[in-house]
Structures are given as C-alpha cells and as structure tokens.
C-alpha cells in the first residue's frame, strides 16, 4: 500500500488525460450542485476532503466511455464523485464524458462561483439566472481562476486585471487592488492543494476485502462492484454492451433494481452463491459468464412475466429486492413450473422477512436447497421448511401500521387486485396492472378509508393508520376524497356496493359514524385476514408446510417487524 500527496491540478490532469480509469461498472456522476459547491468551499477553507483510493491492477479494466487507445491500469474506485467534481470546478472535461452538449450542459448546471465581496460563509454559490445577470465581477466562475498559472505572464496579468475590475465595480470595501489580487490568488491556489492518494496493488482477493469495507460519503463500494469490474476486464465489451443495457431495460419495464442485485442473480444461478470470494476464479471468464448470463436473462424474463400476471409489474411493492435472487434461481431450475405454489412461497418468505437486511446466509441456504431439490414441489417444501413456522393470518396482522408493514401492503394489494377492484373515480378502469401494461393513469395509491384529517384526535393514530383502514384507489379519486367523511363521499362519487366489496369493505361504510370507527376497522381486519388465508390456501395446494414448534406457535403476530 502506497501513500502520496497529489495536487488537485494533477488529479484533474490524470482524469482528463486518461491516466486513471473509471471502470464501466461504476455509477455515473450523482453529486448535487450543492455538494460540488461545498467541495470548493472546503478546499478554500483548507478543510480535508478525504482520500482517493486507487487500485493499481495489471489486469486493466473496461473503462467508461473511453474512445482512445490508452489502457490505464489504475482504477479510481473510491473517489470518483470528488474526482469528477474537481474536473467540473476546473472546467476541464474528464475523458469519460462526451464532448459537446452533454459536457456543456454539465458545466452550466454545476456553475460554481466565488463571491469576491463577502467576508463570511458561504463564499461560494451555485449560479442561477439572478447571479448570471449581475453586471459586476462579484460572482466569479471558479473555473476561470483554477486554470490560471501565475508563472505565466499573461495569466498573472489576467488575474491583476480582474482584481482591478473588481475595485472599479465598487466591490471589496476596505481592500486595495493588491489585497483583492491576493484574495483571488488564494482561490486560484486551490489547484495546488494536496489530496492524499492511497494506492493498493494487492491480489484480487485482498483488494475485494478492502473495497467491500469501504464507505465513501455514504456510498458503499461492494464486492459486486469489484467482481463486475473483473468480468469487464476479462470479457471486453460485455458490461457496456450487454449487462448495463439489460438492467436499464429492466428498469423501463418496472423492475428498477441495482446492477449489484442482478449480478447476485447471475452468480446465484451459475454457482448457487452470492459470496463472491467463495466462487472459483474461472467463473469470471468469458467461457462461463456468457452462457450463465443467457440463463439469467431467461430466468428474469420468466420472473417478470409471472409477477406481472399477478398484477405486480415492478419491484416497488416487494418488501425486499433480495427475494428476486432465489426466485430467479428457482425459475431457472424449474422453468416449466406453474407459478401458484411458487407465489405462495414468495409471499410467505416476504411475510417473515426471509431476505430482509443481512440476508446473504439465507440466500445461500435457499440456493443450495433449490440446487439439491428433485422437482419444484421438493424445492418449495425445502424452502418453506427454512421459514419453519407459517401460522394463519389473523385480524391483528391487519391492525398494524400500514407505513411499517411492507408485506402487509403487498398482501393488501394482491387481495384487492385479485378481487378485480374497479377505481372509485373511473368505474371502467381496474386498479393496478393488467398482465403487462400499467393501466393508464391508475398507479395504485394507498388511501385512508376514514381520512386522518377527518378522524382527527377522535381515535388513536395507530388505529387510523392500520392496514384495515387502507384502500387502493387511483390518484384522482385520492385527491377528490381528500379528508371527506365516508358518509358523504361514498354517495357523492357514486361508489357502489360492488366497488366497496372489491376492497373488502362492507356497504355499511356510508352509514358508519366516527364513534363506530374502531368496530369498523376490526371488522374489516377480520374480513381481510379471512380473504388472505383463503388466498394462501388456494396458492399452496398440496405443498407440505412445517409443523410449528411450541415456542414459535405463541408468536403474537404473523408479520415480521420489517
């Protein structure tokens, strides 16, 4: 491991000249304009701005947007956002940005200016229409100064002329031209500030461990990032031309999942593992990756199709995206399986948070069960046995706060969708999704049947926010109903008995008073629990479920605390 101090101007130079590589798998520039502004201010105030971590890898990498013939072996893995921001502040295009309008648009958006007149923070502002219209030299583009080299006579003269113009504009009271020059030169010298650079040239296994532990301003560098980079190096063109475009297409179809999640499905299908360091090195080569990728895409296609057929046209309602890893592996192994029993397992696994939070061990256990199973029924019974306890739903499960119960929201949606619920505002439109396309204008919204503003302080907030007080309706109906009394809005908007029944709401809603609200919520919770148990029983079919242990059977709630 090597340490060195690198000047800001040299960081920019290496980025512009393609001495450093930003791997293709790295995400794009996501910093806000205020973050770039704060970076400039930190340098001005001589605050530390963190270290950059470089991996000196003789293997090279498939680099983002590279069009030249250079093949640098140094990867900027921790510090890409800061490196790009320094290039923007300097007004110099890093090699990974397209020339022309994309770069011009970026410079305009991140137009950071120095307020020469102020004597206290903030010293820097993000330019807007107002600052750009100021006729004086008060707001000076940072990039105009960072590109000046006062060892060059013409640059020194340009800085002095700027100082003189500042004074002619009546700015910087109490300072003479020389003092203004010094102030401007202090900003210019940001380019000479030192940033600590850490370079590692360890073997891949050690580097993965280093990167997996890193946190950079809240952005975790994961093992998947690194191994995806390894694949990019060993299979040139695959990441840019196939892998990332496919993930983009998944997002366009409603499954807005991360590249890392899809990579987990790839290794889950290919090696039944999601701990990358336990996978033999040969797997990352083109010979193994490409056929496994074809299988993975087919499994994803089946996953998307089956979930869409259930009205789930995206991952937003799923309690955890990690559930997609064993699901795709299951559909890869048993592509001809009917989905009812698979869906039963998926709901139960989601119900008990099987793949929430730290779920690596759970995923690998389940991937092994899938691999060892003789058929789909055997696989599902093995997976259900891992959950161990599958009690019936009770009314209490629907008295949980809807904002905390991710599985509860999913189940409520599935029940209402299966009931063929029609929107309360557009009686010809079905709530949800119709096996492929989102119904125009009817993205389901969670609506309090008895609105919070209407109930007020009459009953506990926990009761008002219960799942049993939630309906799924279209956005226009949600807005129109707002905080109105159900005794009023049901008749006003012609919400018929059948529309209420599709939401498991009794026709007596329109005559239910605020005082009767607790009893109404309890009744609907019981009705939803009954419908939920009927749905699960129908999906389960002849699957055997594990016998509960005595200690587990006393659990108060079926839903996990997500």
Position 413 scores a pLDDT of 93
Query: Average pLDDT for residues 72-90, to the nearest whole number?
Result: 86
Position 223 scores a pLDDT of 67
Is 326:366 a contact under the CB 8 Å cutoff? yes
Query: Average pLDDT for residues 451-478, to the nearest whole number?
Result: 86
Position 216 scores a pLDDT of 43
Is 31:85 a contact under the CB 8 Å cutoff? yes
Is 99:51 a contact under the CB 8 Å cutoff? no
Which of the pair, 21 or 368, is modelled with greater confidence? 368
How far is CA 555 from its chain centroid? 33
Query: Average pLDDT for residues 262-271, to the nearest whole number?
Result: 95
Position 344 scores a pLDDT of 97
Alpha-carbon distance of 49 to 42, in angstroms, equals: 7
**Burial level of 16, CB count in 10 A (0-12/13-18/19+)?**
middle
Spell out the SS3 assignment of 143-157: HHHHCCCCCCHHHHH
Q: Which of 281, 264, 187 is nearest to 224 (CA)?
A: 264
The rounded mean pLDDT for the chain is 85
Per-range mean pLDDT, top range of 151-160, 220-229, 383-392, 450-459: 151-160
Query: Average pLDDT for residues 81-107, to the nearest whole number?
Result: 90
Window from 36-45, 235-244, 305-314, 482-491 with minimum mean pLDDT: 482-491
Q: Report pLDDT digits (tens) over 396-431.
A: 999 999 988 899 999 999 999 999 888 787 666 777
116, two tokens: 């020469």
Is 337:376 a contact under the CB 8 Å cutoff? yes
Position 204 scores a pLDDT of 56
352, two tokens: 């008990």
Per-range mean pLDDT, top range of 53-62, 489-498, 516-525: 516-525
Alpha-carbon distance of 293 to 316, in angstroms, equals: 24
Query: Average pLDDT for residues 150-154, to the nearest whole number?
Result: 93
Window from 109-123, 168-182, 346-360, 527-541 with minimum mean pLDDT: 346-360
The percent of residues in the chain predicted with pLDDT above 70, rounded, is 84
pTM: 0.68
Tokens 């000047």: give the residue.
7
Which residues face 198 on adjacent strands?
A: 3, 53
Position 227 scores a pLDDT of 76
245 has a pLDDT exceeding 80: yes
Position 192 scores a pLDDT of 93
Query: Average pLDDT for residues 310-317, to the nearest whole number?
Result: 88
Q: Quickly state the pLDDT bin for 356 (edges 50, 70, 90).
A: confident
Alpha-carbon distance of 47 to 117, in angstroms, equals: 21
Query: Average pLDDT for residues 490-504, to the nearest whole number?
Result: 85
The percent of residues in the chain predicted with pLDDT above 90, rounded, is 53
Alpha-carbon distance of 268 to 283, in angstroms, equals: 12
372 has a pLDDT exceeding 70: yes
Position 17 scores a pLDDT of 87
DSSP 8-state class, residue 191: G
Which of the pair, 264 or 99, is modelled with greater confidence? 264
40 has a pLDDT exceeding 90: yes
Residues with Cβ within 8 Å of 65's Cβ and at least 6 positions away in sequence, in order, are: 95, 96, 97, 98
Alpha helices in 471-560 (DSSP H): 475-481, 486-492, 497-501, 517-540
Which of the pair, 231 or 126, is modelled with greater confidence? 126
Instruction: Report the interhelical angle of 204-212 vs 223-234 (nearest 10°).
Output: 140
CB-side neighbour CA atoms (13 Å) of 71: 8
155 has a pLDDT exceeding 70: yes
Which of the pair, 372 or 77, is modelled with greater confidence? 372
Q: Quickly state the pLDDT bin for 437 (edges 50, 70, 90).
A: very low
User: How many other C-beta atoms can be found within 10 angstroms of the C-beta atom of residue 157?
Assistant: 11
Position 287 scores a pLDDT of 93
Alpha-carbon distance of 414 to 267, in angstroms, equals: 30
Q: Quickly state the pLDDT bin for 561 (edges 50, 70, 90).
A: very low
Dihedral angle sign, alpha carbons of residues 2, 7, 12, 14: negative
**Structural Rg of the chain based on CA atoms:** 30
Alpha-carbon distance of 154 to 159, in angstroms, equals: 9
């Amino acid at each position: 491991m090597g340490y060195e101090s690198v000047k800001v101007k040299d960081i920019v130079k290496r980025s512009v000249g393609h001495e450093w590589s930003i791997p293709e798998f790295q995400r794009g520039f996501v910093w806000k304009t205020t973050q770039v502004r704060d970076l400039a201010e930190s340098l001005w105030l001589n605050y530390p701005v963190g270290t950059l971590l470089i991996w000196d890898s003789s293997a090279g990498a498939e680099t983002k947007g590279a069009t030249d013939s250079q093949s640098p072996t140094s990867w900027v893995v921790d510090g890409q956002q800061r490196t790009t921001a320094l290039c923007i502040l300097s007004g110099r295009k890093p090699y990974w940005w397209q020339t022309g309008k994309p770069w011009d648009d970026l410079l305009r958006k991140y137009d950071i200016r120095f307020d020469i007149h102020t004597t206290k923070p903030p010293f820097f502002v993000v330019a807007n229409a107002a600052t750009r219209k100021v006729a004086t030299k008060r707001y000076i583009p940072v990039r105009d100064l960072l590109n000046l080299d006062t060892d060059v006579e013409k640059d020194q003269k340009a800085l002095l002329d700027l100082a003189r113009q500042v004074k002619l504009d009546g700015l910087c009271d109490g300072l003479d031209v020389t003092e203004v020059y010094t102030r401007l030169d202090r900003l210019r010298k940001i380019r000479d500030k030192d940033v600590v650079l850490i370079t590692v040239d360890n073997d891949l296994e050690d580097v993965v461990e280093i990167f997996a532990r890193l946190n950079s301003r809240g952005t975790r560098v994961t093992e998947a990032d690194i191994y995806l980079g390894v694949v990019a190096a060993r299979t040139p063109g695959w990441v840019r031309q196939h892998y990332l475009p496919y993930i983009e297409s998944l997002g366009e179809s409603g499954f807005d999942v991360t590249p890392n999640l899809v990579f987990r499905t790839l290794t889950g299908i290919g090696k039944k593992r999601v701990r990358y360091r336990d996978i033999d090195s040969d797997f990352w080569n083109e010979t193994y990756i490409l056929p496994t990728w074809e299988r993975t895409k087919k499994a994803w296609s089946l996953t998307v199709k089956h979930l869409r057929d259930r009205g789930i046209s995206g991952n937003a309602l799923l309690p955890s995206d990690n559930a997609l890893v064993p699901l795709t592996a299951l559909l890869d192994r048993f592509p001809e399986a009917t989905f009812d029993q698979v869906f039963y397992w998926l709901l139960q696994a989601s119900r008990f948070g099987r793949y929430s939070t730290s779920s690596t061990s759970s995923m690998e256990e389940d991937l092994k069960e899938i691999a060892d199973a003789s058929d789909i029924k055997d696989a599902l019974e093995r997976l259900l046995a891992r959950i161990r306890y599958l009690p019936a739903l009770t009314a209490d499960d629907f008295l949980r706060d809807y904002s905390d119960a991710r599985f509860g929201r999913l189940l409520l949606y599935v029940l209402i969708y299966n009931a063929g619920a029609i929107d309360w505002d557009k009686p010809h439109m079905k709530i949800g999704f119709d096996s492929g396309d989102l119904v125009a204008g009817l993205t389901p919204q969670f609506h309090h049947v008895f609105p919070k503003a209407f109930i007020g302080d009459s009953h506990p907030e926990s009761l008002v926010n219960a799942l049993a007080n939630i309906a799924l309706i279209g956005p226009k109906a949600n807005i129109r109903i707002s905080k109105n009394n159900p005794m009023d809005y049901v008749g006003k908007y012609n919400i018929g008995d059948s529309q209420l029944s599709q939401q498991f709401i009794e026709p007596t809603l329109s005559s239910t008073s605020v005082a009767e609200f607790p009893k109404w919520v309890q009744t609907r919770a019981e009705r939803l629990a009954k419908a939920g148990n009927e749905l699960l029983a129908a999906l389960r079919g002849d699957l055997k479920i594990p016998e509960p242990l005595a200690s587990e059977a006393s659990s108060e709630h079926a839903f996990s605390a997500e």
